[in-house]
Amino acid sequence: MPNDIDSDPPPPATAGADRPPAVARPSDGWSAAAFEGEFLRGPRPRRRETRELFRMAAEFVRGFRTFHFIGPCVTVFGSARFPQEHRYCALAHQMGARLARAGFVTMTGGGPGIMEAANRGARENGGMSVGSRIRLPHEEDANPYLDVDVEFDYFFIRKVMLLKYSMGFIILPGGFGTLDELFDATTLIQTGKMHGFPVVLMGADYWQPLMAFMRRTMVAAGTIAAADVDRILVTDVPEEAMAHLLDFATSSFGLRWRPYKPLWFLREQPLGDNEASVDPADPGDPAEQGEQGEQGDRPDLDDPVDLIERTGA
C-alpha cells in the first residue's frame, strides 16, 4: 500500500468504549520515585539520588540479563484498550503469527489489547513471546501469552529494552505511549543513534492524519526531511509488512546471528529452545546481533519457513 495519503481519512474506531477501568494495585514495595514521580520533581538529597541511581542500575542489569539471550526480535507496539475482537487486534494477531513462523521473537509491552493479540499469535504458532512491562497503579497484569515477562518501574528503562533488542518495529494504533515509542524509534534512526531498522505502521486509517501532518506541515517547514517520512511503511497487508521486515533482515543482516552463551559464574540461564539462531547459508565466523552480514537469499513468502534456524539449549 503506498504511503501517499492525500485523501480524507475515515473516522478511527473507538477503543475500549465499554472497557471497565483497571483496578488499582497496592504499592507493594514500589519505588516511590517511579510511582509518585518524586524523581522528576527536581534535585533531592544526594543520598536519595544515589540510592535511586543504584535502583535504576539494578533494573537495567535485570533487563540485560534476561533479554541478552532471546535472539532476533521484532517489537509490536499498540494500545492496551482495544478488545480482542477488534480489527486492529486481528492485525496484531496475524503479525505475531507471521513473525513466529519466520523465526522471530515477538516482543510487546506485555499488556492486554494489541499487545496480547500479538503475543497470542506468536505463542499459538510456536514462537517465543516476550513482554517488557511497566508497573503502574491503574494498569492490568501481564497477558497470559508470555514466555518471558520482565516488569519495570521506570518508563525509560523499559523503552530501552523494547528498542535495544529489536531489529524491526510494528506499530499499531495506540495513545500517547504508542506515539512516544514511534517517535523514539524514528528519532534514534534519524539521528544515527540506532540502525535504520524497519518501522511499519499498521491500521492505515488511524495513521493517515499523522502521516499527512508530517508530510504537509513538518516536511514543508523543514523540521524533518522527506526521507524521514519515506522510511516509514504504512500498510494493512501483513504480507507486505513481513516482506519489508524480511528484506531488511536478509539484505542488511543476512540473518547471521549466533546466540551468546550463558556464563555459569554470572548465574545466567538459557531461554530454552528459542535461544539459538543462525543462518545456515554462511557457516563462517558468527556475526553478533546488530552487526551487518552478507547478502542472503530472499525467502519464499508464500511458504513461510524458519528463516532463523533454531537449535536446542
Mean pLDDT calculated for residue range 200-227? 98
Q: Is the pLDDT of residue 4 over 60?
A: no
Of 219, 238, 253, the last residue of a domain is 253
- Total-model pTM: 0.74
Q: Count up the domains in the chain and report the number.
A: 2
pLDDT recorded at residue 43: 87
Mean pLDDT calculated for residue range 155-163? 95
Over pLDDT 70: what percentage of the chain?
68
At 221, the pLDDT band (50, 70, 90 cuts) reads very high
Dig out the grid coordinates for 239 from the structure.
504480507
- The answer as to whether 21 is a domain residue is no
Answer yes or no: are the C-beta atoms of 22 and 139 closer than 8 Å.
Answer: yes
pLDDT recorded at residue 69: 86
pLDDT recorded at residue 254: 56
pLDDT recorded at residue 34: 52
CATH number assigned to the domain comprising residue 93:
3.40.50.450
Of 253, 275, 297, the last residue of a domain is 253
Please tell me whether residues 198 and 138 are part of one structural domain. Answer: yes
- Where is pLDDT greater, at 62 or 43? 62
Please tell me whether residues 249 and 214 are part of one structural domain. Answer: yes
CA distance linking residue 86 with residue 217, whole number of Å = 31
Q: Going by C-beta distance under 8 Å and a sequence separation of 6 or more, which residues neighbour residue 41?
A: none
**The length of the chain, given as a count of residues:** 313
- The answer as to whether 173 is a domain residue is yes
Please tell me whether residues 54 and 148 are part of one structural domain. Answer: no
- Where is pLDDT greater, at 29 or 112? 112
How deeply is 222 buried, as exposed, middle or buried, from its count of CB atoms within 10 A (0-12, 13-18, 19+)?
A: exposed
Please tell me whether residues 133 and 41 are part of one structural domain. Answer: no
Lowest mean pLDDT among 7-11, 67-71, 146-150, 224-228: 7-11
Which domain, by its residues, includes 54? 32-62
Q: Is the pLDDT of residue 163 over 50?
A: yes
Instruction: Give which of 301, 251, 228, 275 is closest to 105, Cα–Cα.
Output: 275
Q: Is the pLDDT of residue 35 over 60?
A: no
Q: Is the pLDDT of residue 68 over 80?
A: yes
Give pLDDT tens digits for 239-281. Answer: 999 999 988 877 765 554 455 567 767 766 665 544 334 333 3
Q: Is the pLDDT of residue 135 over 60?
A: yes
Of 238, 253, 268, the last residue of a domain is 253
Which amino acid, 193? K
Mean pLDDT calculated for residue range 79-83? 96
Lowest mean pLDDT among 20-29, 81-90, 266-275: 20-29
Please tell me whether residues 80 and 53 are part of one structural domain. Answer: no
